[in-house]
């Protein structure tokens, strides 16, 4: 049996007629930049998350940069984020003129360890960016409390968590501004790059909308210099179709996660992901820990099972951040886990047989 890491073709086949129609509509109307699909998507996505505004932009990384600019980040301002994330989170801070400050990840939940945030706050700290990593919401009660106490902005990086709940609210509704990515492999993925900023703040929304579109309010009336980072018409049309199915797909992801838990329950050679109390993860990834990670990954590959590593090098240990001179003892959990984390295949179309096959191969490896 072959088990891919994800299966975008299977997803396309399940909605092919509707998708082809939506795409050809955009082409028939030459609505490539701006247009009806984009304005519809901005409304649909804001409704889905539960915010007053959604602004489609070119990608999730730009969404972060634009959000930081909107919050008035100035040169030298510090922004706190988890050492265990994709580089987009930290890269955006630097690109917006700020200084990256890493915090170790939580040993059970892999999101930012909220017990270690306050020791990193200085009089230059401007914001915290919690990442809802692998589809699991960060501990938002603690983060919002710390932010309030220290007068900091919160930007949720929900690139991996479309539709996830923290208690009774969706992620993206807690921060001053929040961002999503529609990279094809994300839970809600376009057929190319795409991203969105969501917020309840009218002023921030207006600034983001203008900044992403050359600082203009109308054609050739530019109030300030911005950039060109717009969600295009084709991607918006694709996302409008997919948005109708995202809840169903997230339910399926959770079902797959539960099959893994069933079939691997009591098997103590690996450590299954833990859910934070009160959250509903959308399992962008199903990440286990293994002391023989690389050998296990290789064994799975020999048995036609694709797996991934998120992430093989913690952000502070990347060459890109060598200038910060961090050592493993600065972020012991992130450092220890970078050689143990393994992402098993998970996607909404995955069958119970496929999950069973993966689980059996994991057990076989340890025999």
Ligand X SMILES: *Cc1c(COP(=O)(O)O)cnc(C)c1O
Instruction: Show contacts with ligand X in window 87-126 (CB under 6 A).
Output: 88-89
| Minimum CB–partner distance for residue 159 and ligand X (Å) | 3
CA distance 365 to 298: 10
> What CA–CA distances, in Å, run from 359 to 44, 119, 237?
38, 41, 37
By CB under 6 A, which span of 19-27, 56-64, 233-241, 267-275 interacts with ligand X?
56-64
CA distance 159 to 89: 10
CA distance 136 to 159: 11
365 binding ligand X? (CB under 6 A): no
| Minimum CB–partner distance for residue 99 and ligand X (Å) | 18
273 binding ligand X? (CB under 6 A): no
By CB under 6 A, which span of 53-61, 168-176, 314-322, 323-331 interacts with ligand X?
53-61
CA distance 254 to 280: 9
316 binding ligand X? (CB under 6 A): no
| Minimum CB–partner distance for residue 2 and ligand X (Å) | 26
Helix (H, G, I), strand (E, B) or coil at 231: coil
CB atoms within 10 A of CB 145: 12
- Closer residue to ligand X in complex, CB, 140/296: 140
Q: What share of the chain is helix, strand, coil (3-state, %, to 5)?
A: 45, 20, 40
| Minimum CB–partner distance for residue 98 and ligand X (Å) | 16
By CB under 6 A, which span of 25-33, 86-94, 95-103, 238-246 interacts with ligand X?
86-94
- Closer residue to ligand X in complex, CB, 128/355: 128
- Closer residue to ligand X in complex, CB, 88/296: 88
Near ligand X by CB under 6 A: residue from 84, 178, 181, 338 = 181
Binding mask 241-260 for ligand X (x = CB under 6 A): --------------------
By CB under 6 A, which span of 14-22, 54-62, 100-108, 264-272 interacts with ligand X?
54-62
Question: DSSP code of 276?
Answer: P
Question: DSSP code of 316?
Answer: G
Q: Can you spell out the DSSP letters for 113-180?
A: -GGGTGGG--TTEEEEE-B-GGGPPP-HHHHHHHHHHHT-EEEEE-TT-TT-EETTEETTSSSSEEEE
Radius of gyration of the chain (CA): 21
Residue closest to ligand X, measured at CB: 60
183 binding ligand X? (CB under 6 A): yes
Asked if 3 contacts 301 with a C-beta cutoff of 8 angstroms, the reply is no
187 binding ligand X? (CB under 6 A): no
Near ligand X by CB under 6 A: residue from 135, 195, 226, 314 = 195
What would the two tokens of residue 170 be?
């969706």
| Minimum CB–partner distance for residue 235 and ligand X (Å) | 11
- Closer residue to ligand X in complex, CB, 22/131: 131
In 3D space, the residue among 166, 176, 218, 226 whose CA is nearest the CA of residue 197 turns out to be 176
- Closer residue to ligand X in complex, CB, 195/362: 195
CA distance 143 to 135: 17
**Angle made by CA atoms 355, 9, 158, in degrees to the nearest 5:** 75
Residue 311, preceding bond cis, omega within 30 degrees?
yes
CB atoms within 10 A of CB 298: 13
131 binding ligand X? (CB under 6 A): yes
229 binding ligand X? (CB under 6 A): no
For ligand X (CB under 6 A), the number of binding residues is 15
311 binding ligand X? (CB under 6 A): no
342 binding ligand X? (CB under 6 A): no
Instruction: Show contacts with ligand X in window 134-173 (CB under 6 A).
Output: 157, 159-160
- Closer residue to ligand X in complex, CB, 77/157: 157
- Closer residue to ligand X in complex, CB, 117/270: 117
Pairing status of strand 153-157 against strand 125-129: parallel
Q: Give residues in contact with ligand X (CB under 6 A).
A: 59-61, 85-86, 88-89, 131, 157, 159-160, 181, 183, 193, 195
């Amino acid at each position: 049996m072959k088990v891919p890491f994800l299966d975008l073709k299977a997803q396309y086949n399940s909605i092919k007629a509707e998708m082809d129609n939506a795409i050809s509509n955009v082409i028939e109307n030459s609505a490539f930049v701006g247009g009806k699909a984009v304005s519809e998507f901005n409304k649909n996505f804001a409704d889905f998350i539960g915010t007053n505004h959604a602004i489609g932009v070119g990608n999730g990384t730009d969404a972060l940069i634009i959000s930081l600019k909107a919050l008035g980040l100035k040169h030298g301002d510090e922004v706190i984020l988890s050492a265990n994330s994709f580089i987009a989170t930290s890269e955006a801070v630097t690109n917006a003129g700020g200084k990256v400050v890493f915090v170790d990840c939580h040993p059970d939940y892999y999101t930012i360890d909220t017990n270690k945030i306050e020791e990193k706050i200085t009089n230059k700290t401007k914001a915290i960016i919690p990442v809802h990593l692998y589809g699991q919401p960060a501990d938002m009660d603690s983060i919002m409390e710390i932010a309030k106490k220290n007068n900091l902005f919160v930007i949720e990086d929900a690139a991996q968590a479309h539709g996830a709940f923290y208690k009774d609210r969706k992620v993206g509704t807690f921060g001053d501004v929040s961002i999503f990515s529609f990279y094809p492999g994300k839970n809600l993925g376009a057929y190319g790059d795409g991203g969105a900023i969501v917020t309840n703040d009218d002023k921030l929304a207006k600034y983001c909308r203008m900044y992403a579109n050359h600082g203009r309010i109308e054609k050739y009336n530019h109030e300030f210099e911005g950039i060109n980072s717009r969600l295009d018409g084709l991607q918006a049309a694709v996302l409008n179709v997919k948005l109708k199915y995202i809840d169903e797909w997230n339910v399926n992801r959770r079902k797959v996660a539960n099959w893994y838990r069933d079939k691997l329950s009591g098997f103590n050679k690996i450590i299954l992901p833990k859910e934070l109390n009160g959250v509903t993860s959308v399992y962008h990834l199903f990440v286990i820990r293994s002391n023989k990670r690389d050998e296990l990954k290789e064994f799975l590959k020999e048995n036609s099972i694709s797996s991934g590593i998120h992430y093989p090098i913690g952000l502070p240990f990347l060459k890109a951040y060598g200038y910060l001179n961090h050592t493993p003892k600065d972020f012991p959990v992130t450092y220890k886990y970078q050689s143990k984390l393994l992402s098993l295949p998970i996607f909404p179309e995955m069958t119970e047989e496929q999950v069973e096959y993966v689980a059996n191969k994991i057990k076989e490896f340890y025999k």
